Amino acid sequence: MKVNLKVGAAMVALCTLAGVGSAAIADEQASLPFSKAVRVGDMLYLSGELGAKPGTMALVPGGIGPETRQTMDNIKATLEANGSDMDHVVKCLVMLADINEWAAMNDVYRTYFSDGKFPARSAMGASGLALGARVEIECLATVTDAQ
């Protein structure tokens, strides 16, 4: 994980030095100390997303299935608001409070992508997800518009 974060930070720094523009994307939870998404060139880097209804800090009830669905809905909305979509997601990182819920998360996750066109992905068990979440997912995507 530390290596991936260092590589990601280095890529953002190199793009900035090379003159590729970057922009933090504002969101409704602006009081939190991170951006919902950051665009660098034609790449969109999404922060980890939880299964909370937009504009709230409350997780949807019902466990891993409903949380995964809301998480993916939130990711889809962020992508679409920033010139991308689910077909342009290239990589996801899934963090599960209980790795034994991997199959149940996959049952929902797979429905958000065209058949056979899944992004690269890593999944891991993680303790202490924000708000007591069962799942957190972060994604990288290419941008499809000329923003």
Q: Quick one: pLDDT at residue 3? A: 41
Q: Which of 71, 134, 78 is nearest to 108 (CA)?
A: 71
Domains of the chain: 22-142 (3.30.1330.40)
User: 33: number of CA atoms within 13 Å, CB side?
Assistant: 0
Q: How far apart are CA 88 and CA 49, in angstroms?
A: 17
4 membership: H or E segment, kind and range: helix 2-17
Read off the DSSP letter of residue 47. P
Ramachandran region of residue 84, left (φ > 0), alpha (ψ -120 to 50) or beta? beta
Distance CA 86, CA 113 (A): 6
Q: What pTM, to 2 d.p., does this model score?
A: 0.80
> Per-residue pLDDT for the chain (147 aa), expressed as one digit of tens each?
444 433 344 344 333 333 345 555 445 555 778 899 999 999 999 999 999 999 999 999 999 999 999 999 999 999 999 999 999 999 999 999 999 999 999 999 999 999 889 999 999 999 999 999 999 999 999 998 755
